[in-house]
């Protein structure tokens, strides 16, 4: 009996060790890469550059929050669990709606609401397909992504539609306490989502629903409603981001849908920065800033930007292989 006990104990130790190793490894890799950039990439550490990277990452980060919330509420088994492939296309559509309404002379607050509403409506469509029609999330969100990007193209007729307003230029150029408006948006939004996910009863329940739906159901939680929420919230993030995109470019442009892959990469990479290897807001923030710094560092070093997506892909594979290794070492 003693042997059994000590064996389970040592296997837990080994597993905890492996987990710590992976997580520390992730932080160490992050640190080493940043340090390398700081030493070799001229201007990397200048406050101008740092702020620039943060601003560039705002859009990616908030979209990745949407994806993260979907992962939290529906589990990280992307094949059978949940995923929101529509989030980026959705942002593109919301942006097109926003710009078009502004140009039609709608008052700004109404146009903002309409953009966010558009995002949430597409999110609702995702939820409907997954919860009511029981479509595989991968497929459901794929179809919605097609619809969203098609609608975006239709509204914009494949053109860049310019727009300018005081509100948008404040968002673009405004500063407060030496920090740009976009950075403030990121800070406030992060605090908001982090509270919702990590410091509210709601978040605990959403994690439970995503972590083990049967257990959540047995605890009396409404699983379907939580899944709806995940997708609608992801749509909200998309709508919200679309306003930032428009303000940054003073226009609605095509190609927002291309953000999907970096968004996925950030949300998946983020899991490695959490103690439980689950999606977290903090992890996603670190991961998407990391993705941003990586691109920036390469640029400053004069490395071709063509490397960026390959490095992201390799990182995803590395992270997933390592986490599955860390989980597997729990020893049969």
Partner 1 sequence: MSDIAIDMRGISKQFGPVKALENVDLQVRKGSVHGIVGANGAGKSTIIKILAGIYRLSDGEVEIDGKPIDTITPASIEKEGVHFIHQDRLLVPTATASEAVFLNNEPRVGPFLNARRMKREAVELIKKHFQVEIDPDTLVRDLSAAQQKIVQISRALANKAKVLVLDEPTAALVAAEVTSLFGVLRALRDDNIAIVFISHYMQEIMDICDDVTILRNGENAGNVVPAESSIEEIVALMVNRDTSEMYPRRTAEIGEPVLQLENGTRVGHFENVDVEVHKGEVLGLTGLLGSGDKQLLKCMFGLDQFDAGTFTLNGNRRQFGSPAEAVKAGLAMIPEDRRAHGVAVDLSVSDNISIASINSHSNNGYVDTKSEANMVNGLIAELGVKTPDRFLPVRNLSGGNQQKVVVAKWLSCESSVYLLDDPTVAVDVGAKVEIYNLINRLAGEGKGIIFVSSDLEETVEMCDRILVMYRGRIVGKYQRGEIDSDQLLAVASGASTDIREVP
Partner 2 sequence: MMEDVRHSIFSLDALSNYIVLFAFAAVMIIFSVTTANFLSLENIYNVIANKVVLLAIVSLGMTIVIAAGGIDLSVGVSVDMSALVFFSLLAAGFSAPLGVFAGLFAAFTVGAFNAFLINKLRIDAFLATLGVLFIGSSVQRLATNGGTPITLTTQEYAPVFQVISDSQLLGLPTPVWILALCSIAVFLLLHKMVFGRYVAALGAKPGVALYSGVRVPRELSKVFIYCAVLCGIAGILLSSQVKSYIPLSGDAFLLDAIGATFIGTAMTSDRRPTVVGTLMGVCLLAFMRNGLLLVGWNFFWQQVGIGVLIFVVLAFSFGLRKREE
Which of partner 2, partner 1, none binds 103 (CB below 5-8 Å, type-dependent)? none
Do 3 and 318 meet the contact criterion of CB atoms below 8 Å apart? no
- Beta strands, E only, 96-204: 161-162, 175-176, 179-180
Residues 57-116 that bind partner 1 (CB under 8 A): none
Residue 157 in the binding site for partner 2 (CB under 8 A): yes
Q: How many residues bind partner 1 (CB under 8 A)?
A: 35
| Among positions 179, 196, 316, 329, the unique one binding partner 2 when judged by CB under 8 A | 316
Which of partner 1, partner 2, none binds 24 (CB below 5-8 Å, type-dependent)? none
DSSP string, 211-224: H-HHHHHHTT--HH
Do 99 and 163 meet the contact criterion of CB atoms below 8 Å apart? yes
The interface region with partner 2, picked from 154-162, 179-187, 233-241, 286-294 by CB under 8 A, is: 154-162
Burial 187-217 (b: 16+ CB within 10 A, else e): eebbeebbeebeeeeebebbbbbbeebeebe
> Residue 178 and residue 199: Cα distance in Å, rounded?
29
Residues 211-250 that bind partner 1 (CB under 8 A): 211-212, 214-222
Residue 25 in the binding site for partner 1 (CB under 8 A): no
Q: Which two tokens stand for residue 325?
A: 């290794």
Q: Which two tokens stand for residue 294?
A: 């990586």
Do 252 and 93 meet the contact criterion of CB atoms below 8 Å apart? no
Sketch the per residue contact string, 176 through 205, with partner 2: x for CB under 8 A, - otherwise.
------------------------------
Q: Which two tokens stand for residue 66?
A: 């949407």
Sketch the per residue contact string, 38 through 77, with partner 2: x for CB under 8 A, - otherwise.
---------------------------------------x
Residue 324 in the binding site for partner 1 (CB under 8 A): no
> Residue 102 and residue 276: Cα distance in Å, rounded?
44
- Residues interacting with partner 2, by CB under 8 A? 77-79, 129, 132-136, 138-140, 142-151, 153-154, 157-158, 261, 264-265, 268, 304, 306-314, 316-317, 320-321, 324-325, 328
- Residues interacting with partner 1, by CB under 8 A? 1-4, 7-8, 11-12, 16, 195, 199-201, 203-205, 207-208, 211-212, 214-222, 276-278, 330-332
């Amino acid at each position: 009996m003693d042997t059994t006990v000590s064996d389970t104990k040592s296997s837990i130790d080994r597993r905890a060790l492996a987990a710590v190793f992976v997580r520390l490894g992730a932080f160490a890799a992050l640190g080493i890469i940043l340090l390398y950039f700081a030493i070799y990439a001229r201007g990397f550490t200048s406050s101008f550059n740092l702020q620039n990277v943060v601003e560039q990452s705002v859009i990616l980060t908030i979209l990745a929050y949407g994806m993260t919330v979907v992962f939290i509420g529906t589990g990280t088994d992307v094949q059978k669990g949940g995923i929101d492939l529509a989030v980026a296309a959705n942002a593109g559509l919301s942006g097109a709606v926003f710009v078009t309404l502004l140009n039609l002379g709608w008052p700004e607050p109404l146009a903002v609401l309409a953009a966010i509403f558009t995002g949430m409506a597409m999110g609702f469509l995702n939820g409907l397909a997954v919860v009511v029609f029981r479509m595989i999330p991968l497929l459901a969100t794929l179809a919605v992504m097609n619809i969203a990007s098609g609608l975006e193209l239709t509204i914009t007729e494949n053109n860049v539609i310019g727009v300018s307003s005081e509100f948008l230029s404040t968002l673009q150029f405004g500063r407060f306490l030496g920090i740009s408006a976009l950075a403030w948006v990121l800070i406030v939004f992060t605090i908001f989502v982090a509270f919702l996910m990590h410091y509210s009863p709601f978040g605990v329940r959403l994690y439970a629903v995503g972590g083990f739906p049967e257990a959540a159901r047995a605890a009396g939680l409404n699983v379907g409603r939580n899944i709806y929420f995940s997708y609608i919230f992801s749509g909200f993030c998309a709508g919200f981001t679309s306003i930032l995109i428009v303000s940054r470019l003073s226009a609605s442009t095509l190609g927002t849908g291309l953000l999907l892959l970096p968004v996925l990469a950030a949300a998946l990479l983020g899991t490695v920065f959490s103690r439980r290897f689950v999606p977290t807001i903090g992890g996603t923030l670190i991961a998407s800033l990391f993705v941003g710094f990586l691109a920036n560092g390469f640029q400053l070093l004069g490395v071709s930007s063509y490397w960026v997506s390959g490095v992201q892909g390799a990182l995803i594979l590395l992270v997933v292989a390592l986490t599955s290794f860390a989980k597997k070492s729990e020893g049969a």
